[in-house]
Amino acid sequence: MIRDRFAPSPTGNVHVGSLRTALYNYIYAKKMNGKFLLRLEDTDRTRLEAGATENLLNALMVTGIETDEGLILKDGQVDQIGDLGPYIQSERLAIYQDYIKRLLDQGHAYYCFCSKDRLDTLRAQQKENGQTPRYDGHCRDLTAAEIDQKLKNSESYTIRLKLPANHQIAFDDVVRGHIEMNTDDLDDQVLIKADGFPTYHFAVVVDDHLMQISHVIRGEEWLPSTPKHIYLYECFGWEKPLFVHLPNILNDDRKKLSKRQGDVSVEDFLKKGYLPEALINFLALLGWSPDSEQEIFSLDELIQAFDFSRINKSGAVFDRAKLNWMNAHYIKELTTEKFVENMLPFLLDSETISPDQISEKSEWLGKVAQLLKERIEYFAQIPEELAHILNDQFEITDPEALELLAEESTGRLYKVLAEKIASSEKLDVERAKAILKEIQKEEKIKGKMLYMPARIMITGEMHGPDLTLIMDVLGKDAVLLRLAAMKTLVAQYESDEEVKNG
């Protein structure tokens, strides 16, 4: 059975790269009818952040990535399911003690009593001499008596991996192919730290084995560590999982995706009103491509289409414009109700409406949704877009617009339009359409000469979304006020024309 896992460290917000790793693991497990595990790697006690685990589980839940085993969110609380737990590394310390003992007994690991000061000095010296900093093996050959004595004296220690000299480590990565490394180029990795916690490198191997992981699918940044992991599997005599290293995610400048160039955390994107399905679709195509031109994929379609052979080796550029395009696509597909649901937090936040207005304004909100659906790339753009539409303090400066307002027919249009709106009971889309039709028939003002000046008088602009919808959203009183403000303008242009003509 295929078993893979997402093994994040709870160190703050969820990076989009982490979500992609989780996604690929999830998709692959689903595709193969396997199990997707979530294990928390919290052994670096200096980097823990409160709330990070909840954040993480929340990001997965929102994006539809469900864990089969390991950590889950139950009634908002972190919980664990499965028989091979605990799935939180800090709850597995006794297990690591057991396995480190085996390595010590077999001579694959050794106690290291070097002080931090000694190691710092060593590193500084090596750097100064232009060497790659690495442990010099100072404690490799302590005698059993020496070790006992130091332990009795309660000297602080770490436990290191004892790598043999000139030993070739080889493995086949599913994406990268055959990889070899000589132990002469590797450091005697710390396996147990001075605080008694295992390092990532040790815990990851023990846990992947005990949790029966068949596929390790993770970011490329872990590729250089993999030979050490492989060597540990060999020491224990364990069967190795398959390794699948995913390409880095890059900024436009082809450097690793960083905060400097904009948002990088899942929370950032969700907060801005990116839809989870768009985020998932976009991330799925960062480093993997389908066997077709298709770009829009639901999670189910991804599960169908995904396969390892189409994972790229080279880094994938995080193209924000493409993400926006994709999000706009998903936004257009939303029902009005869903659109309103997504838009509301932004309207409340910007105080465009207050909570007690929501129900009385529900019809109006539906119209705003229709008006803005085609116009936004993400929901945080809503307040500004709407404010723009609701703003009646506009100035008309475009010469072409001014010319249209100066037309004789615009004078007539202006008058009847204002009259017809004033005598209407209310101004909804249907009524607005009917009025424009009536004017067309009665005044013989048609096409561009009808719609453009009407739009300019009501919105100040030559182009924009459906005018009748705008009229509906603004409402009768606001439209009349806007027309009233035009009165002098239209008249003034008229008289200017007269002056010029005369």
List, by residue number, the catalytic residues. Answer: 259
Q: Which stretch binds ligand GLU (CB under 6 A): 4-12, 149-157, 161-169, 404-412?
A: 4-12
**Residue 246 in 3-state DSSP?**
strand
207 binds ligand GLU (CB under 6 A): no
Q: Report, in Å, the least distance between residue 103 CB and ligand GLU.
A: 19
Nearest to 220 by CA among 169, 265, 254, 173: 173
Residue environment code for 160-196, b if the CB has 16+ CB neighbours within 10 A, otherwise e: bbbbeeeeebebebebbeebebebeebbbbbbbbeee
413 binds ligand GLU (CB under 6 A): no
Nearer to ligand GLU, 36 or 110 (CB): 36
Q: Report, in Å, the least distance between residue 342 CB and ligand GLU.
A: 31
The residues facing 75 across adjacent strands are: none
Alpha carbons within 13 A on the beta-carbon side of 417: 29
Cα–Cα dist 398/400, whole Å: 5
Cα–Cα dist 6/30, whole Å: 14
**Residue 396 in 3-state DSSP?**
coil
**Could you write out the DSSP letters of every residue in 269-313?**
HHHTT--HHHHHHHHHTSSB--SSS-----HHHHHHH--GGGB-S
Q: Report, in Å, the least distance between residue 11 CB and ligand GLU.
A: 8
Cα–Cα dist 417/22, whole Å: 58
Q: Report, in Å, the least distance between residue 18 CB and ligand GLU.
A: 7
216 close to 208: Cβ distance less than 8 angstroms: yes
| Helix, strand, coil tally for the chain in percent (to 5) | 50, 15, 35
205 binds ligand GLU (CB under 6 A): no
Q: Report, in Å, the least distance between residue 8 CB and ligand GLU.
A: 5
420 binds ligand GLU (CB under 6 A): no
Nearer to ligand GLU, 311 or 421 (CB): 311
67 binds ligand GLU (CB under 6 A): no
Nearer to ligand GLU, 162 or 228 (CB): 228
Q: Show the binding pattern over residues 220-239: x = contacts ligand GLU (CB under 6 A), - = does not.
A: --x-----------------
* Amino acid residing at 472: D
Using the rule CB under 6 A, which residue among 4, 7, 157, 407 binds ligand GLU? 7
Q: Report, in Å, the least distance between residue 176 CB and ligand GLU.
A: 15
Nearest to 43 by CA among 159, 199, 158: 199
Q: Which stretch binds ligand GLU (CB under 6 A): 3-11, 75-83, 180-188, 315-323?
A: 3-11
DSSP 335: -
9 binds ligand GLU (CB under 6 A): yes
41 binds ligand GLU (CB under 6 A): yes
Using the rule CB under 6 A, which residue among 3, 4, 8, 188 binds ligand GLU? 8
Nearer to ligand GLU, 41 or 377 (CB): 41
10 binds ligand GLU (CB under 6 A): no
For binding to ligand GLU (CB under 6 A), which residues are involved?
7-9, 41, 200, 204, 218, 222
